[in-house]
Protein backbone atom coordinates (compact mmCIF):
# COMPACT_ATOMS: atom_id res chain seq x y z
CA UNK A 1 0.00 0.00 0.00
CA UNK A 2 2.70 2.54 0.93
CA UNK A 3 6.45 2.87 1.17
CA UNK A 4 8.22 2.90 4.56
CA UNK A 5 7.73 5.68 7.11
CA UNK A 6 10.12 8.63 6.93
CA UNK A 7 10.46 11.57 9.27
CA UNK A 8 9.71 15.06 7.91
CA UNK A 9 9.66 18.49 9.43
CA UNK A 10 8.05 21.79 8.77
CA UNK A 11 6.97 23.67 11.84
CA UNK A 12 6.23 20.27 13.43
CA UNK A 13 7.64 16.77 12.99
CA UNK A 14 5.44 14.25 11.21
CA UNK A 15 5.84 10.72 9.99
CA UNK A 16 4.79 10.13 6.39
CA UNK A 17 4.61 7.44 3.73
CA UNK A 18 4.19 8.00 0.03
CA UNK A 19 1.21 6.06 -1.34
CA UNK A 20 1.86 3.35 -3.90
CA UNK A 21 -1.87 2.78 -4.49
CA UNK A 22 -5.04 4.84 -3.94
CA UNK A 23 -6.23 5.04 -0.32
CA UNK A 24 -9.53 6.12 1.24
CA UNK A 25 -10.51 6.30 4.92
CA UNK A 26 -12.57 8.38 7.31
CA UNK A 27 -10.40 10.03 9.98
CA UNK A 28 -11.26 10.28 13.70
CA UNK A 29 -12.89 13.68 13.09
CA UNK A 30 -15.24 12.18 10.49
CA UNK A 31 -13.50 13.72 7.46
CA UNK A 32 -13.01 11.66 4.30
CA UNK A 33 -9.36 11.25 3.41
CA UNK A 34 -8.63 10.30 -0.22
CA UNK A 35 -5.19 9.81 -1.68
CA UNK A 36 -3.83 8.96 -5.10
CA UNK A 37 -0.58 7.23 -5.98
CA UNK A 38 2.24 9.61 -5.05
CA UNK A 39 0.29 11.45 -2.32
CA UNK A 40 1.43 11.17 1.29
CA UNK A 41 -0.17 9.48 4.29
CA UNK A 42 0.84 11.63 7.28
CA UNK A 43 0.84 10.69 10.96
CA UNK A 44 1.20 13.51 13.47
CA UNK A 45 2.66 13.23 16.97
CA UNK A 46 -0.81 12.72 18.46
CA UNK A 47 -1.41 9.73 16.17
CA UNK A 48 -3.86 11.40 13.80
CA UNK A 49 -3.55 10.38 10.17
CA UNK A 50 -4.39 12.41 7.09
CA UNK A 51 -3.54 12.50 3.40
CA UNK A 52 -1.72 15.37 1.74
CA UNK A 53 -1.40 15.91 -2.01
CA UNK A 54 2.13 15.26 -3.28
CA UNK A 55 2.75 18.77 -4.65
CA UNK A 56 1.69 20.47 -1.42
CA UNK A 57 3.52 18.01 0.83
CA UNK A 58 6.81 18.27 -1.06
CA UNK A 59 6.62 22.09 -1.03
CA UNK A 60 6.06 22.27 2.72
CA UNK A 61 7.92 19.39 4.37
CA UNK A 62 11.67 18.81 4.60
CA UNK A 63 12.78 15.14 4.70
CA UNK A 64 14.74 14.14 7.80
CA UNK A 65 15.36 10.46 6.95
CA UNK A 66 13.83 7.10 7.92
CA UNK A 67 11.65 6.96 11.03
CA UNK A 68 11.66 3.69 12.95
CA UNK A 69 8.24 2.93 14.44
CA UNK A 70 9.63 2.79 17.99
CA UNK A 71 11.72 5.98 17.63
CA UNK A 72 8.93 8.32 16.54
CA UNK A 73 8.62 11.36 18.82
CA UNK A 74 10.63 10.28 21.85
CA UNK A 75 9.22 11.50 25.14
CA UNK A 76 10.57 14.82 26.28
CA UNK A 77 12.75 14.99 29.38
CA UNK A 78 12.47 18.00 31.63
CA UNK A 79 15.94 19.44 32.17
CA UNK A 80 16.87 20.56 35.68
CA UNK A 81 17.39 24.30 36.11
CA UNK A 82 21.13 23.81 36.71
CA UNK A 83 21.46 22.13 33.32
CA UNK A 84 19.53 24.92 31.59
CA UNK A 85 21.87 27.54 33.02
CA UNK A 86 24.92 25.65 31.78
CA UNK A 87 23.56 25.69 28.23
CA UNK A 88 23.11 29.48 28.14
CA UNK A 89 25.73 31.47 26.22
CA UNK A 90 28.22 33.37 28.40
CA UNK A 91 27.06 36.87 29.33
CA UNK A 92 23.32 36.10 29.22
CA UNK A 93 21.37 36.68 32.36
CA UNK A 94 19.06 33.91 33.55
CA UNK A 95 16.44 36.59 34.34
CA UNK A 96 16.08 37.47 30.64
CA UNK A 97 15.58 33.83 29.59
Per-residue pLDDT of the chain (97 residues; tens, 9 = 90+): 657 888 777 777 889 999 999 999 999 889 999 999 999 999 988 889 999 999 999 988 888 878 765 455 544 444 444 444 444 445 555 554 4
Burial class (CB in 10 A: 0-12, 13-18, 19+), 93: exposed
Q: What's the longest Cα–Cα distance across the chain?
A: 56
pTM above 0.85, yes or no: no
Any idea where the domains of the chain sit in the sequence? 1-67
Cα(8)–Cα(62) distance, integer angstroms: 5
pLDDT of residue 68: 67
Amino acid sequence: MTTTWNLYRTRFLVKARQLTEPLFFVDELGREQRGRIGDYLIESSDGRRSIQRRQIFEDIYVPMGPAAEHQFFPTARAAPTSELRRRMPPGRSTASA
